[in-house]
Amino acid sequence: MVRKEVLEKLQSAQKRLSDINPNFKLYIFEGYRTLKIQKERFLKRLKVLSELEYYENPFDLYEKTHETVAVPSVAGHPSGGAIDIVIFNQQTNSFLDFGSPIYDYTTNKFRLDTLGLTNEQENNRQILREILLAENFAPFDGEYWHFSYGDREWAFYYQKPAAIFSNLQFKNYE
Ligand SMILES: [Zn+2]
């Protein structure tokens, strides 16, 4: 589930992608996420990190956690504007090789600026980035698969005075 504006942009991005290769399909793992889930994931990641290393200043632990799971108050997914997205190849029946599977934090390769990628992996990341930035999505350097439109991250990236979307809350939807 995503904002209507995001859906429309994804449809245009899919057209751009099909022009590059008709077998390529955008594959969205997650769009809208409730604030409750965001809080749970943040705390879970914070707990894992706090067990790996001692942080004298709790703020450093918060910052480190924020690198992979956004602090709930500024997170994009609860606004319905953020997506976790990769590309699926219908011909080979597999995802394109991005150098690291989506949501894999066991190596440093989830970051956009990671070293040691093959040309093909670099190229696949470039394709994903290009078609989405052409639709005015903002990338997130912390995760090559995360993009957003209209959330705070997007406003910061494009130097807009404010985000378009605030967090969504639905009754009976958790
Ligand atoms: Zn995400």
Centroid of ligand 1 to alpha carbon of 22 (angstroms): 26
Give me the residues near ligand 1 (ion), CB cutoff below 5 Å.
84, 146
- The CATH architecture that domain 4-33+75-157 belongs to is 2-Layer Sandwich (3.30)
pTM for the structure as a whole: 0.90
Q: What are the φ and ψ backbone dihedral angles of 135, each rounded to 5 degrees? A: -100, 15
Q: How far is the CA of 68 from the centre of ligand 1 (A)?
A: 9
- Evaluate whether 125 touches 109 at the Cβ level (below 8 Å): no
Radius of gyration of the chain (CA): 17
Model confidence over 64-117: pLDDT tens digits?
A: 998 888 888 888 999 999 999 999 999 999 999 999 999 998 888 998 888 899
Alpha-carbon torsion (7, 42, 56, 58), positive or negative: positive
d(CA 23, CA 78): 31
How remote is the CA of residue 117 from the centroid of ligand 1, in Å?
21
Q: In this predicted structure, what is the pLDDT of residue 22?
A: 98
Q: 102-153: per-residue pLDDT in tens? A: 999 888 899 888 889 999 999 999 999 999 999 999 999 889 999 999 999 9
Indicate if the pLDDT at residue 173 is higher than 70: no
Residue spans of the domains in the chain: they are 4-33+75-157
Coil, helix or strand for 170? coil
Q: Report whether 3 contacts 165 (CB < 8 A).
A: yes
How far apart are the CA of 125 and the centre of ligand 1, in A? 15
- What's the 146 CA to ligand 1 centre distance in angstroms? 4
Q: How far apart are CA 79 and CA 97, in angstroms?
A: 29
64 C-alpha to ligand 1 centroid (Å) = 16
Q: What pLDDT does residue 174 have?
A: 61
